[in-house]
């Protein structure tokens, strides 16, 4: 039963973190620096989370690099999210089968 | 007005449009669901090590939706620590969701009803947030619901599969599916970097500092979740001070 207590505590904590700003800020924030900060946050977080972690997803380092560079080039050229994501996934799977 | 005025997400959309937006969210959510499934399988395996039952692990994934938070919780639960310790560790690890929630609150219609805000907030994860915030103009809650409706089952089922079949999936398939998750991250920030010249060096700097933080042994005492928070706060604040976003680009 205690395990369900833990699950409830973490679910409530995590939901509060998510819901408070979303319900509190019902008007647009006027402060320019804060707005700019919020604009940059998602891109910086995603970049930080992607690199260098992406290089460690396969055992063969060059295959991870090929997947990384392919995704970067495709995405920069505005190829759709679905194609970028599944394209580099398929490429990495094939390279591992052939060369791994 | 202009771009920012489209997709207001209140009563102004008719049902057909809401359906279109919902379906787009579902389609964009497919790579998320795939990536989640893989990560969640490893969560299921970790849950088994911490002696959770399949039902407990599955309920945890359904109600929490947080990879780093759930991973961290297993050690706390296995140690039988006080509830407050678990709450504090979740608060720190998931603090970035608070930042994302702030950002999302500025992206939806200011008139968006309360119940939509309560429901959307449940789905604020790195990936669903990333998809939602990269939509042009105002964010419709239906887009987020679409993404949630495929991503949450992916996350929940992955945990169940993981705890039931500890190591039956071939490793090569697992790592390739992980690549799909990162490919999706990249597909979110790179097109934006092409449209906003300032973003490209900021992204390059973020990656470089992240690699440096990872490589230098002095930072080993900081958990990886904490490193992400520190780097995000520092780099975003620096960027906001040096390159404030002009008001006409607020809908970036």
Contacts of residue A13 in chain B, CB cutoff 8 Å? Answer: 86-87, 90-91, 94
Give the pLDDT band of residue B5 (cuts 50, 70, 90).
very low
Query: Please, is B82 exposed, middle or buried when counting C-beta atoms within 10 Å of its C-beta (0-12, 13-18, 19+)?
Result: exposed
Q: Does B200 touch chain A (CB under 8 A)?
A: no
Q: What is the pLDDT of residue B250?
A: 47
Nearest alpha-carbon partner for A6 in B140, B38, B80, B28: B80
Residue B240 has a CB neighbour count (10 Å cut-off) of 21
Neighbours of B17 (CB within 10 A): 13
What value does the mean pLDDT take over residues A9-19?
96
Among A81, A83, A91, the residue to mutate for chain B (most B Cβ within 10 A)? A81
Quick: pLDDT tens for B7-58. 444 455 688 999 999 999 999 999 899 888 887 887 888 888 888 999 999 9
Chain B, residues 104-143, CB within 8 A of chain A, namely 104-106, 110, 114, 117-118, 120-122, 124, 126, 129-131, 133-134
Write down the mean pLDDT value for chain B. 85
According to the model, what pLDDT value does residue B147 have?
97
Q: Band the pLDDT of B247: cuts 50, 70, 90.
A: low
- B77 with A28: Cβ contact below 8 A: no
Burial class (CB in 10 A: 0-12, 13-18, 19+), B77: buried
- Residue contacts between A and B (CB atoms, under 8 Å): 287
What's the rounded Cα separation, in Å, for the pair A82 and B29? 9
- For range A38-51, the mean pLDDT: 85
Q: Do A17 and B91 touch (CB under 8 A)?
A: yes
Look at B74 and A11; give whichever has higher pLDDT: A11
Which has more confidence, A42 or B97? B97
Going by pLDDT thresholds of 50, 70 and 90, the confidence category of residue A25 is confident
* Mutation for A interface: B36, B78, B176, B229, most A CBs within 10 A: B176
| Residue in A32, A45, A72 closest to B232 by CB | A45
Question: In this complex, which of A23, A35, A89 lies closest to B106 when CB atoms are compared?
Answer: A35
Chain A residues touching B30 at Cβ < 8 A: 82
Interface contact B96-A45, CB threshold 8 A:
yes
pTM tops 0.80, yes or no: no
- Spatial neighbors of A52 by CB under 8 A, at least 6 apart, are B207, B210, B211, B214
Return the H-helix or E-strand segment holding A20.
Answer: helix A2-24
pLDDT score, position B224:
67
Mutating which of A47, A60, A82, A91 best tests the B interface, going by the most B Cβ atoms within 10 A? A47
Query: Residue by residue, what is the 3-state secondary structure of B179-196?
Result: HHHHHHHHHHHHHHHHHC
What does the alpha-carbon distance between residue B248 and residue B154 come to, in Å, rounded to a whole number? 37
> Looking at the predicted structure, is the pLDDT value of residue B126 above 70?
yes
Closest by Cβ to B189, choosing from A9, A37, A47: A47
User: SS3 of B108, please?
Assistant: strand
- Three-class SS state of B139: strand
Q: Which residues contact B141 (CB under 8 A, 6 or more apart)?
A: B9, B108, B112, B116, B119, B120
Set of chain B residues whose Cβ sits within 8 Å of the Cβ of A35: 106, 245, 250
Higher pLDDT, B27 or B4: B27
Average pLDDT of span B227-252: 79
**When comparing pLDDT for B81 and B13, which is higher?**
B81
**Average pLDDT in the B77-95 region?**
83
pLDDT at B116: 96
Tokens of B44: 């299921």
Rounded Cα–Cα distance for residues B232 and B240 (Å): 12
**What percentage of chain B has pLDDT greater than the value 70?**
89
Smallest Cβ–Cβ distance between A85 and the set B31, B207, B227 belongs to B31
Mean pLDDT of A31-40: 86
Quick one: average pLDDT of B219-247? 83
Closest partner residue to A46 (CB to CB) among B64, B178, B185 is B185
Going by C-beta distance under 8 Å and a sequence separation of 6 or more, which residues neighbour residue B198?
B239, B243
Cβ–Cβ contact B231 with A under 8 A: yes
pLDDT(A55) > 80: yes
Specify the pLDDT at position B45: 81
d(CA A40, CA B100) in angstroms, rounded, equals: 11
Would you say residue B6 has pLDDT above 60? no
Residues A35-53: what's their mean pLDDT? 85
CB contact under 8 A, A50 and B182: yes
pLDDT at B249: 46
Instruction: Inform me whether the pLDDT recorded for B156 exceeds 90.
Output: yes
Write the CB contacts of A74 (distance below 8 Å, at least 6 apart in sequence): A83, A84, A87, A88, B187
Q: In this predicted structure, what is the pLDDT of residue B76?
A: 82
Residue B89 or B15, more confident: B15
Q: Which of A10, A44, A90 sits opposite B206 (nearest CB)?
A: A44
Give B-chain residues touching A69 at CB under 8 angstroms. none
Instruction: Find the residue in A nearest to B30 (Cα).
Output: A82
pLDDT reported for residue B9: 46
Q: How distant is the alpha carbon of residue B252 from its chain centre?
A: 19
What is chain B's percent helix, strand, coil content, to nearest 5? 75, 0, 25
Q: Which residue has the tokens 């409706």?
A: B149
Residue B118 has pLDDT above 80, yes or no: yes
**Could you give the CA distance from residue B2 to residue A38 in angstroms, rounded to a whole number?**
22
Q: Which residues contact A78 (CB under 8 A, 6 or more apart)?
A: B191, B194
Residue A17 has pLDDT above 80, yes or no: yes
């Amino acid at each position: 039963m205690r395990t369900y207590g833990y699950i409830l505590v973490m679910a409530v904590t995590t939901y509060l973190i998510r819901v408070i700003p979303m319900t509190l800020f019902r008007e647009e924030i006027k402060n320019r620096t804060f707005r700019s900060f919020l604009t940059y946050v998602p891109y910086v977080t995603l970049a930080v989370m992607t690199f260098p972690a992406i290089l460690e997803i396969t055992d063969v380092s060059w295959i991870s690099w090929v997947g990384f560079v392919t995704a970067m080039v495709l995405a920069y050229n505005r190829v759709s999210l679905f194609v970028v994501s599944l394209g580099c996934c398929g490429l990495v799977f094939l390279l591992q089968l052939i060369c791994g | 007005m202009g771009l920012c005025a489209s997709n207001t997400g209140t009563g102004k959309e008719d049902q057909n449009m809401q359906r279109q937006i919902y379906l787009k969210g579902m389609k964009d959510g497919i790579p998320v669901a795939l990536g989640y499934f893989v990560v969640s399988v490893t969560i299921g395996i970790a849950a088994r090590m911490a002696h959770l039952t399949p039902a407990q692990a599955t309920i945890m994934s359904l109600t929490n939706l947080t990879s780093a938070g759930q991973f961290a919780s297993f050690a706390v639960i296995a140690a039988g620590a006080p509830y407050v310790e678990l709450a504090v560790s979740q608060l720190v690890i998931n603090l970035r969701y608070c930042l994302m929630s702030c950002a999302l609150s500025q992206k939806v219609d200011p008139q968006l009803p309360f119940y939509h805000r309560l429901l959307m907030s449940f789905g604020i994860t790195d990936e669903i947030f990333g998809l939602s915030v990269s939509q042009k103009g105002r964010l419709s809650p239906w887009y987020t619901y679409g993404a949630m409706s495929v991503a949450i089952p992916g996350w929940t089922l992955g945990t169940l599969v993981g705890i039931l079949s500890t190591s039956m999936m071939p490793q090569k398939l697992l790592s390739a599916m992980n690549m799909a998750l990162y490919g999706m991250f990249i597909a979110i920030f790179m097109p934006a970097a092409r449209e906003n010249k300032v973003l490209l060096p900021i992204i390059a700097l973020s990656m470089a500092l992240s690699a440096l933080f990872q490589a230098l042994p002095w930072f080993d005492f900081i958990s990886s979740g904490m490193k992400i928070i520190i780097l995000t706060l520092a780099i975003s604040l620096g960027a906001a001070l040096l390159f404030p976003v002009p008001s006409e680009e607020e809908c970036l």
